[in-house]
Amino acid sequence: MSNNISKCKITVLKRTINRDLAEEYLKGGGDLCECEVLSDGQEIIVEDPFSMPEGFCSWAWGDIRGDVMSIATGSSLPWMKSKGTMITGCTDYFRPVIFKLERMEE
């Protein structure tokens, strides 16, 4: 991997559920549960931001991979308290997952 690309740590901050939306719009929506692929507090180290980590949700990866690449290649957001950190999430509007991304500089 290039010296310009760092590892990135993904932390699952929380899995949420919008039960009101699920009950109104989904068949069997009252039976919906939080994301079953990931767990609150789970940490995943991304060695190669071009590849989805093994066991990661492909839908969530599709939503956050651009953010992972941004952090891994040196971006920082001026409104964040910590340099090289970003909060992002998957766009499952019924049961979204919120992630923290952190650049791991060596």
Q: What is the pLDDT of residues 8-40, one digit of tens each?
A: 999 999 999 999 999 899 888 778 889 999 999
pLDDT given for residue 3 in this prediction: 65
**What is the tens place of the pLDDT at every residue in 32-84?**
889 999 999 999 999 999 999 999 999 999 999 999 999 999 999 999 999 99
pLDDT at 106: 64
Q: How many Å apart are CA 28 and CA 87, to the nearest integer?
A: 31
pLDDT given for residue 1 in this prediction: 47
- Side-by-side strand order, sheet with 7-15: 43-46, 7-15, 97-104, 85-89
pTM of the entire predicted model: 0.91
